[in-house]
Amino acid sequence: MSPPIGITATNISSAFQLRIGCVPEHFSSPIYQIIDSGVFPNAVIVFHFLLYFVLIIAIKVNCPGGTGQMIQYLKEDKIDIAFALTEGLIANLVNDLIKRKRVDEGLTRISFDSDEAKSDNMENEFKIIGTYVSRPLTWSIASHINLKKEGEDNFDKFSGYETIKNWKIGVSRFGSGSHIIPFVLADSMGWLDDGQKIPFEFVVLNNINGLINGIKENKCDTFLWERFTTKPYYDENIVHHLSNITPPWPAFTIAATDKILLTKLSLVKDFLRVLNTQTTKFDQNKADNVEFIKDSFSLKEKDVLNWLNTVEYQKDIFSVDFEVFKSCFNILKKSKVILNGDNLNFEDVVGDVIFNETKLIY
């Protein structure tokens, strides 16, 4: 079935447009595939029982600055949907909620403080609407190549952690995973016990290129980034692979602005249904995607195959595992990424963080 004669991407009403924010990295492969391989550029056709179709103009907005950039774009109404890191979305949503609301001492409910709300002038709000990548993300810790020892192939994880204590860490943006995960690392080492201050400085360097240059130009001592994206720089001896850390929650979660959920909910659902079909196909036929990933993201075949062995997309993209998200929330709170949230429980905020039509798995 083809689109009606005369309909093109340029004359479809903006009522059918969705702006999709994602990282220009291999995890976004299914998104690239459904947006870039349509009948015409940016077109996603959704068939409903082959009786009629909906045409979605999906505008892909690459965000090399990662989750922090996507959160900023959601708030500035530059994108409608984001495929971003779970920890970044939860931390930002809860911290924004704490700014708008206060927790009554001794109670589990949150009461709205209208005076604070009026003075806060919050930006556009968004909600988590589903899960994209169900497996955790492994972060590699990069440092100056001069720290690499002769003949060194392996590293000791905890020795690597100890090395970066009191170092200056490069991040893409405050609120990105590259900023949040060092807090999780510090907490796992006991460095935040008894109210201790986190033993790092942070410097914003925007994206992977800025971070690599930051190491070379001594603007930072280390940075954390997804391991397969960083691996080519290790292979070329540009930076040194010091260690890894893998937090225990789904790597990527899906968020959408309240505005788009109010005005184009059916379109959002249609887009996610098509994407869910593609992620299922991707997981079932991983070998068929090797060339696409190599060509799209400049990775070696060996690295693509290794990554494919580690990745798994959420079977039901519209679902969220309550207990896993609660665990993420608790770790972020313990790590002091969530600010002033001592009296806050995930049960108190779940309705403000996760869209009410999302399937919660208990």
At 89-101, the pLDDT tens digits run 999 999 998 887 6
**Residue 67: both structure tokens together:** 């989750």
Is residue 131 pLDDT above 60, yes or no? yes
* 283-323 pLDDT tens trace: 999 999 999 999 999 999 999 999 999 999 999 999 999 99
Lowest mean pLDDT segment, chosen from 67-76, 89-98, 99-108, 188-197? 99-108
Side-chain-facing half-sphere of 141: CA atoms under 13 Å: 27
Contact 232, 299 (CB under 8 A): yes
Residue 254 or residue 188, greater confidence = 254
Edge-to-edge strand ranges of the sheet holding 239-245: 201-204, 168-171, 222-226, 139-144, 239-245
> pLDDT confidence of 119, banded at 50, 70, 90?
very low
Decide which of 3.40.190.10, 3.40.50.970, 1.10.340.30, 1.20.1740.10 is the CATH code for 139-245: 3.40.190.10
- What is the DSSP-derived secondary structure letter of residue 194? G
Q: Are 142 and 215 in contact (CB under 8 A)?
A: yes
Report how far apart, in Å, the C-alpha atoms of 96 and of each of 24, 60, 99, 193, 293 are: 27, 26, 5, 25, 36
Instruction: Dump pLDDT digits (tens) for 258-290.
Output: 999 999 999 999 999 999 999 999 999 999 999
Instruction: Give which of 125, 200, 212 is closest to 172, Cα–Cα.
Output: 212
Q: Work out the mean pLDDT of the chain and round it to a whole number.
A: 85
pLDDT for residue 361 is more than 80: yes
DSSP code, position 354: B
Residue at token pair 């959420």: 314
- Is pLDDT of 247 > 80? yes
Q: Side chain identity at 22, as an amino acid letter?
A: C
Per the CB < 8 A criterion, the answer to whether 329 and 184 are in contact is no
Query: Smallest Cα–Cα separation from 86: which of 265, 278, 248, 297?
Result: 248
Per-residue pLDDT band for 38 (boundaries 50, 70, 90) equals low
Instruction: Outline which parts of the chain fall under CATH 3.40.190.10.
Output: 14-135+250-361, 139-245
pTM to 2 decimals? Answer: 0.85
Q: Is CATH 3.40.190.10 the right assignment for the domain spanning 14-135+250-361?
A: yes
